[in-house]
Amino acid sequence: MNLSDYVKKRNGVPLGNSNSLRNMLIRSLGAGKFSIFWQYWNPIWGYYLGKYIFKPLKFIFPPALSLIITFVVCGFIHDLAIMLLKWEFTLLLTPWFLCMGLCVIIGDYAKIDYSKFSWIARAAINILVISSCLLIAYQVKI
């Protein structure tokens, strides 16, 4: 699947459509599982992470570990951009993304599903998970 098809599948609109951001936010925040949130969040970035990080890792590691490593790599890329801008070593986003990756795995393993809740409740749950992971990451910030 190419990038254009991937984005249309995730956002429901073609790449570059004016409703792309709106659709991404509505679909991701309203996801009934934390793992589904990540299927809709930032589809362009997700496409490249899936193609160049996650899929190759699955040839070496089990899918759950491949997913965790993909989240860590994603967080580190974000941290690297900040380090290059600030010229200072810091790791906040790496542990944050590690925590969110663990929440994806644990949520799927425990079959946590809140899809029957209202959109606003699902959005609140997803934001709560993301925020909780950020608070944890601040506690372990390097």
What are the boundaries of each domain within the chain? 3-140
Is pTM beyond 0.85? Reply is yes
Residue-wise pLDDT tens digits, 29-73: 999 999 999 999 999 999 999 999 999 999 999 999 999 999 999
Residues 36 and 129 sit within 8 Å (Cβ to Cβ): no
CB 140: neighbour CB atoms within 10 A? 13
Report residue 107's pLDDT band, with 50, 70 and 90 as the boundaries. Answer: very high
Distances (CA, A) of 73 to 64, 69, 98, 137: 14, 6, 9, 15
Query: What does the pLDDT average to over 101-109?
Result: 98
121 pLDDT band, cuts 50/70/90, is very high
Question: Is residue 32 within 8 Å of residue 117, measured between CB atoms?
Answer: yes
Residue 138: pLDDT above 90?
yes
Measured between alpha carbons, how far is 91 from 106 in angstroms, rounded to an integer?
Answer: 23
The dihedral formed by the CA atoms of 109, 52, 13 and 107, expressed in degrees to the nearest 10: 10
Of all residues in the chain, what percent carry a pLDDT higher than 70? 99
How do residues 15-26 score in pLDDT, each as one tens digit?
Answer: 899 999 999 999
